[in-house]
Amino acid sequence: VKPAASLAIATAAVALALPASAEFAKPEDAIKYRQSALFVMAQHFGRIGAMVNGRAPYDGAAAVTSAEIVADMSKLPWAGFEPGTDKGGNTRAKPEIWSAPAKFKENSEKLPVETIKLLAAAKMGNLDTLKTAFANTAGVCKSCHDTYRKD
């Protein structure tokens, strides 16, 4: 492979690995977007957590509503980590997100997979099932935070 072709292939690979850029008008918007989506998700995930941890009474319908919102929201934050958004707002995101984007993408894609299971568990209407799915989802949150979020 000639150098020019090799560069073209490398560029194409990067284009596939990274989210489409310029989706946000400015880095602050991307940062606020991902934080907003994560905050809305966390509020609803926390309500399920309160039920499974006994801090709130188990309410099957409310658990499903929250799990639906968690599942929807879990797909959104990642687009907000577009290149150039490591700075420009009040962010705790670590440089590893952008220095090894394929690894970050692989990690971030685990969340929607897990939250679909959480929603399925909520729909079963069984607190023990919900407890297990909640713990598995919380594990995915924690793993990503441990690696990619500053203390």
Residue of the chain from 60, 72, 107, 129 that contacts a copy of itself (CB under 8 A): 72
Query: Residues in contact with a copy of itself, total (CB under 8 A)?
Result: 15
- Token pair, residue 89, equals 């707002």
Q: Which is nearer to a copy of itself, 60 or 136 (CB)?
A: 60
- Token pair, residue 128, equals 């023990």
Longest Cα separation, the chain:
65
User: How far is residue 40's CA from residue 85's CA, in Å, rounded to a whole number?
Assistant: 20
Q: Is 109 in the site for a copy of itself (CB under 8 A)?
A: no
User: How far is residue 58's CA from residue 136's CA, in Å, rounded to a whole number?
Assistant: 19
Q: Is 55 in the site for a copy of itself (CB under 8 A)?
A: no
* Site for a copy of itself, rule CB under 8 A: 23-24, 29, 32-33, 35-37, 39-40, 43, 47, 69, 72, 76
